[in-house]
Structures are given as C-alpha cells and as structure tokens.
C-alpha cells in the first residue's frame, strides 16, 4: 500500500500527527466503557465487602 493509498484510506495525512475522527471516537468510546466497567466493579466489590460484614 503506497503513501497516497494509505492517506486516502486513513482519511488524513499520517505525518500530520492526528488520527481520523472515527478512530478517535472509537478509542474514546472504548476508554469510557472501560472506565465505567472499572467503576462499577469497584463499587460492587465495596458493596459486597460491606454487605458480607453485616
């Protein structure tokens, strides 16, 4: 794949230092999902530890 073909496929100039909007949205969404899952698991563990003491 040549440089021009990659630039057309990626949607921007790779030397410009920025990602296409779709890639940025994808990874931002994955980051938010991971953060929500971590927070849910943290609160669940704390809840279970507290509930088991009662």
For the segment 10-53, what is each residue's pLDDT rounded down to a tens digit?
655 555 667 889 999 999 999 999 999 999 999 999 999 999 88
Q: What is the pLDDT of residue 46?
A: 95
19 exposed, middle or buried (CB, 10 Å; 0-12, 13-18, 19+)?
middle
Residue 41 sits at φ, ψ, to 5 deg, of -65, -40
**Is 48 part of a structural domain of the chain?**
yes
Question: Is residue 1 situated within a structural domain?
Answer: no
How many domains in the chain?
A: 1
What pLDDT, on the 0 to 100 scale, is given for residue 37? Answer: 98
Considering the domain boundaries, does residue 24 fall inside one? yes
Domain enclosing residue 47, as ranges: 19-54
For residue 17, the model assigns a pLDDT of: 67
Residue 39 lies in a domain: yes
Q: What is the pLDDT of residue 53?
A: 85
- In this prediction the pTM is 0.60
Looking at the domain assignment, is residue 3 inside a domain? Answer: no
In a domain, 38, yes or no: yes
pLDDT score, position 27 = 96
């Amino acid at each position: 794949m040549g440089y021009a073909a990659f630039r057309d496929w990626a949607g921007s100039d790779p030397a410009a230092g920025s990602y296409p909007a779709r890639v940025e949205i994808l990874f931002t969404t994955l980051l938010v999902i991971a953060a929500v899952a971590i927070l849910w698991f943290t609160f669940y563990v704390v809840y279970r530890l507290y509930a088991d003491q009662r």
